[in-house]
Amino acid sequence: MNPETLEASPEALAARVPDGAMVALPPDNSLPSVALAKALIRRGARGLRLLGVPVSGFATDILIGAGCVAEVQTSAVSLGEAGFAPRFTAALKEGRITVRDATCPAIHTMLQAAEKGVPFMPLRGLIGSDILANRPDWRVIDNPFAGGGDPVVLLPALSPDFALIHAAMADREGNVWLGRRRECATIAHAAKATFVTVERLHDGNLLEDERLAPGTISATYISGIALAPRGAQPVALLDEYGVDAGFIAEYARAARTEEGFQAWLARHVTEQHEEALA
Amino acid sequence: MNPETLEASPEALAARVPDGAMVALPPDNSLPSVALAKALIRRGARGLRLLGVPVSGFATDILIGAGCVAEVQTSAVSLGEAGFAPRFTAALKEGRITVRDATCPAIHTMLQAAEKGVPFMPLRGLIGSDILANRPDWRVIDNPFAGGGDPVVLLPALSPDFALIHAAMADREGNVWLGRRRECATIAHAAKATFVTVERLHDGNLLEDERLAPGTISATYISGIALAPRGAQPVALLDEYGVDAGFIAEYARAARTEEGFQAWLARHVTEQHEEALA
Amino acid sequence: MSGPEIKPEERLAATLARLILDPAAPPARHIAVGAASPIPAAACWLVKKSGHPVRLSLLHKRSGNPFTEGSRELFDLTGQGRIDLFFLGGGQIDGQANINLIGTGEWPGTGARFPGSFGSAFMYMMTPRTILFREEHSPRVLVEKVDNISAPGLSAPGVFRRGTAQALVTGRAVFRFDPARGRFALESAHPGEDVASIRAATGFDYDEPAHLPATPDPTPEQLALLRGPVRDEMIETYPEFCARVFGAAEKKDAAA
Amino acid sequence: MSGPEIKPEERLAATLARLILDPAAPPARHIAVGAASPIPAAACWLVKKSGHPVRLSLLHKRSGNPFTEGSRELFDLTGQGRIDLFFLGGGQIDGQANINLIGTGEWPGTGARFPGSFGSAFMYMMTPRTILFREEHSPRVLVEKVDNISAPGLSAPGVFRRGTAQALVTGRAVFRFDPARGRFALESAHPGEDVASIRAATGFDYDEPAHLPATPDPTPEQLALLRGPVRDEMIETYPEFCARVFGAAEKKDAAA
């Protein structure tokens, strides 16, 4: 592995994410790095522009609650069975964040355009939705391959500054295995830098193993890796551990109020870490 | 597996490919079904329009030599270390086939447009190439996201009638495992029907296994499967067997002449099969 | 089995299954079901366990997730025309079958904010059939005109669109949608409801039959399937729903 | 080791390595090498084994193929701007650095047909640096104007392009390309060649220095690397080349 790729901890990766950066996160149960979100909170990150690929969940809500976020671009913010995301909703109401609503395939498409190195990509649908009406950065052209009168939306390429992913394992070359959650590969291809927390290191080269290579992101795209066992919790990691629905429901209850959220944050993010370091 | 998905033999699949169909084939060592190409020759297929994704090799050359092909759309036809593809070259010279030259990423892009259900997709490069000048079906527009004066090529979606792939294994649900050769997944997504020959059947559901799922194409896209052990030979199959360079070199020598090719064909495709049936 | 009483969720699942199998509609060979939709999922399993050869793609099913390109694959599949039927809900649904998953008040939801549009702005237009489903049936949800359009029920001529709403199923009734007229028609009311109670609970205008049928009960065969094989398929993804509707779970939640 | 004699392929590999490391050119952090290119591959391995931190993506390397999206990934990587240097050849190469992989005569190669353009029409324009490499140096290959343009050496103003040819290396000489002038300049001639022999073998016009240097020999260190660690890396992909150039293979061809 490139010597600077393997960092000592999620904190060391978080220190490399500057305030104001555009940070892409996969949704709950699709390999967001909750460990890195917590490390960003602990370092007091400010002004982050979050991108939900294509929707946002637990990690986004705690980053918003902790005051790290200026803008969220996403197709939805939700805690799944635990309901609406309380800190997102409160921050939107109070005007503390800018929300740029999208729709799931549009987010995938903008990243695919960046992955391909093209300035835009078309997408069907969308016409007649107020999402389009509120996205001056999206355009409608007349499909040049039709005889005329076939409007189609063009979406601009989107290249996040950072993708933050939690994967099952990395090898010493810096390759990362995340199995079937291949939208994470597209995020990594589109992002300027990708930081990955992993459960464990893998002996041997993931790309040399025909069974593991298909679920691997090549080290080419990976700028930093840190070990963070259980780093997706409370959300699920493939078949390795499931979602902790009780924990998220408890969070949803606590985070209904600012005070409740701050107490939850102290207990589960700030103090817990200080205890671990002590 | 859907009862009609598993066929008794490659011949049964070949019988379902009508004359004149557009047939997509991956290149040598990227999982073309040579077994299906041979079965198409034995059934006397005519007028096929072959698509090399993105280039063409051994299977294309024998199909052309056997008179099955009317048109080839590809970025190159080559036997790799064994040199030019002799039957392709001869047929082009004699005007027996139409060649539509493309360039590798353009073929991927046209299939990705079909995969996404959009009428076109842009691609950088190409401007100034005679490939573009000879493709009236490709268009240049001014990038609507730039201030003007940024020409970019738009390529139309391309949906082959059939994709013919050789994979390592299929399960009884009709899912197919082909590992890291994920361009085959894009071909299957874009094609109207995908026929797959496999080395063997796999017990259990490939999509339920987190280690195998990332290299699996879902049965959703698969219209027919047949067992064909060593069905990629003489080209390679992942880590299961390598390319038989000597066999291909011998083919390249034999196929320099029409007579040499016909003798090769009788020995390796027609008679061999009759012996196996006897 | 949890006993003979028919739960409202069971009736809704059977109602959705009947709409899925509607012989007048285009065939539903492949149905996708979103994450937070246990009743539509139950309806799809009921169709499948009744012996109909339908392919189900259940989003966020942890085991046997059908997608290997991540969540992008659902939208690509739909773009390809391979998904025949999808379910959508809405914080608001209006009489032209527009849905609002954004929020009330000014954009982007200065009144009540909903989670967001998910893939609706694409799925609604690219799927031949959509069944709108929302248990809450009130003037707050079923409005004359949505405050914000996540996905439109109707499109201008020339705009590419494969289909729109087939029907709207709520906790009180079933409506059919006629895209030519841009208008719902009440088809049946669930037990306990009548013409007047539906009218009072609905914020948009709609057509009404001279005689309003009751939404049928699930058949005993359907109930047996729901409480047996359907529950078994759903328990991993929706443990709380299965416990509440179908009775005590026999399998353990894999995530517990 | 196969002995002290310097093979032409070894000189070419060392020459390409020197061009890769040219401090005046943009950095080559990630180089991709096409399938049928053993000499450029040897040059890249020589750079890497000399201790320079370069990432190599070797197409069609059966073991350790770096791509998990199939061959599309090379083009996506290049589109992203992550590939710094690529090698291209040509059935014809002309004085404006246009390359022809299509064929001679009318489109699509009614004279001699070549295999086809591969990814050249994209790679040449999207890579900051391209080294043109063709061992045959004759008026048949190096022509005044190519019959068909697979990929252009120069683009009209406004056409998006990251770079073009840095140099042209043949079995006889090294040329530098000046995109501002659209013209090659002879830089050095390999042993056995001189100003007149190069001029006679070249179909296009080019600039020539007052005193023509000889292309340097590989250093003893470079030869040791080529015949040892470089050969070991290449033997699986290019067994015949390794046997011919570097001497008897110690490893068995995996495909045999």
pLDDT tens digit sequence for A153-191:
999 999 999 999 999 999 999 999 999 998 899 999 999
Residue B66 has pLDDT above 80, yes or no: yes
For residues D186-213, give the mean pLDDT: 98
CATH number (domain holding residue A259): 3.40.1080.10
Confidence of residue A4 (pLDDT cuts 50, 70, 90): low
Given a cut of 60, is residue D201 above it in pLDDT? yes
pLDDT tens digits for range D100-148:
999 999 999 999 999 999 999 999 999 999 999 999 999 999 999 999 9
Q: Where are the domains of chain D?
A: 8-224
Q: Which residue of A has its CA nearest to B105?
A: A116
Chain-chain contact of C108 with A77 (C-beta, under 8 angstroms): no
Tens-place pLDDT, residues C154-205: 999 999 999 999 999 999 999 999 999 999 999 999 999 999 999 999 999 9
Neighbours of chain B (3+ CB pairs under 8 A): A, C, D
Same domain, A97 and A208: yes
Share of chain A above pLDDT 70, in %: 96
Return the number of other C-beta atoms located less than 10 Å from residue B244's C-beta.
17
Question: For residue C123, what is the nearest residue in chain A, using CA coordinates?
Answer: A125
Range of the domain at B138: 122-156
Q: A interface mutation test: which of C106, C122, C125, C236 has the most A CBs within 10 A?
A: C122
Q: Let me know if domain D8-224 sits in CATH 3.40.1080.10.
A: yes
Give the separation between CA C172 and CA C218, rounded to whole angstroms. 16
Q: Are residues A11 and A149 in the same domain?
A: no
A116 within some domain: no
Same domain, A180 and A263: yes
Q: Measured between beta carbons, which residues in chain B are less than 8 angstroms from residue D108?
A: 92, 99, 101, 134
pLDDT at residue C125 is higher than 80: yes
- Give me chain A's average pLDDT, please: 95
How far CA A253 is from CA of A29, A246, A270, in Å, comes to 20, 11, 19
Contact flag for D and C (3+ C-beta pairs < 8 Å):
no
Residue B272 burial (CB count, 10 A): 12
Q: What per-residue confidence (pLDDT) applies to C236?
A: 83
Q: What is the ipTM of this complex?
A: 0.95
pLDDT at B1: 53
My answer on whether A237 and A135 are in the same domain is no
Is residue B112 included in any domain, yes or no? no
Cβ-Cβ contacts under 8 Å, B139 against chain A: 144-145
Are B162 and B149 contained in the same domain? Answer: no
Do C68 and B118 lie within an 8 Å CB cutoff?
Answer: no
Q: Is residue B117 part of a domain?
A: no
Please report the sign of the dihedral spanned by the C-alpha atoms of residue D216, residue D217, residue D220, residue D225: positive
- Nearest-Cα distance to chain B for A209, in Å, is 9
Could you identify the residue written with the tokens 């939709």?
A: C37
Residues D52, D21 contacting (CB under 8 angstroms): yes
Give a yes or no: residue B24 inside a domain. Answer: yes
Cβ pair B118:A123 closer than 8 A: yes
Q: Which of B180, B181, B205 to probe by mutation at the A interface, max A CB count within 10 Å?
A: B180
**pLDDT for the residue D76:** 97
A39 and A136 assigned to the same domain: no
Whether the CA torsion D221, D226, D232, D233 is positive or negative: it is positive
What DSSP state is assigned to residue A208?
A: G
Residues A66 and A192 in one domain: yes
Q: Are B159 and B23 in contact (CB under 8 A)?
A: no
Is the pLDDT reported for residue C7 higher than 90? yes
Q: How far is B99 from chain A (nearest CA, A)?
A: 22
Q: Indicate if the pLDDT at residue B273 is higher than 80.
A: no
B-D contacts at Cβ under 8 angstroms? 150
3-class SS of residue D254 = coil
Cα–Cα distance for residue pair B229/B168, rounded to 1 Å? 9
* Mean pLDDT across B133-151: 97
Q: Are residues B80 and B192 located together in one domain of the fold? A: yes
Does residue A270 lie in a domain region?
yes
Interior angle at CA A257, CA A253 and CA A261, nearest 5? 75
Q: What is the C-alpha to C-alpha distance for residues C113 and B248, in angstroms, rounded to an integer? A: 65
Own/partner pairs, D137-141, CB within 8 angstroms, 24+ separation:
D137/D170, D137/D171, D137/D172, D137/D173, D137/D198, D137/D201, D137/D202, D138/D201, D139/D201, D139/D202, D139/D203, D140/D92, D140/D203, D141/D90, D141/D91, D141/D92, D141/D93, D141/D203
Residue type, B167: A
Per-residue pLDDT averaged across C44-56, rounded?
96
Looking at chain C, which subunits does it touch, using at least 3 CB pairs closer than 8 Å as the criterion?
A, B
A173 and A246 share a domain?
yes
The model's pTM is 0.96
Distance of CA C53 to the CA centre of its chain: 20
B176-177 vs B162-171, strand pairing mode: antiparallel
Among D106, D125, D159, D252, pick the best mutation site for testing chain B contact (most B Cβ within 10 A): D159
Within a domain: residue B108? Answer: no
Rg (CA), chain A: 19
Same domain for B164 and B49: yes
**Residue C192 region, left (φ>0) first, then alpha (ψ -120 to 50), else beta?**
left
CA-based nearest distance A133→chain C, Å = 10
Q: Tell me the two tokens of residue A30.
A: 């699709």
Q: Closest by alpha carbon to C41, among C1, C83, C70, C12? A: C12
Q: What is the mean pLDDT of residues A226-242?
A: 95
Domain count, chain A: 2
Q: How confident is the model at residue D203 (pLDDT cuts 50, 70, 90)?
A: very high
Asked, for residue A257, whether it belongs to a domain, the answer is yes
Judged by a CB distance cut-off of 8 A, whether residue A220 touches chain D is yes
Helix ranges (H only) for chain B are 10-14, 34-42, 58-65, 86-93, 104-116, 130-133, 183-190, 245-254, 258-265, 271-277
- Residues paired with residue A201 on neighbouring β-strands, in sequence order: A170
> Position B128: which residue type?
G
Determine the pLDDT at residue A5. Answer: 84
Please list every residue in chain A whose beta carbon sits closer than 8 Å to the beta carbon of residue B152. Answer: 118-119
CB pairs under 8 A between A and C: 150
> In degrees rounded to 5, what are phi and psi of residue A254?
-60, -40
Do B245 and B179 share a domain, yes or no?
Answer: yes
pLDDT of B226-239, one tens digit each? 999 999 999 999 99
Nearest CB among D70, D121, D126 relative to B30 is that of D70
| Angle A213-A218-A222 from CA coordinates, rounded to 5° | 145
* B167 and B271 assigned to the same domain: yes
Tell me if B1 is assigned to some domain.
no
Q: Under an 8 A CB cutoff, do C65 and B207 touch?
A: yes
Return the structure tokens found at C224.
């047996």
| Res. A11: pLDDT tops 50 | yes
- Distance, in Å, from the CA atom of D246 to the CA atom of D32, rounded to the nearest integer, reads 23
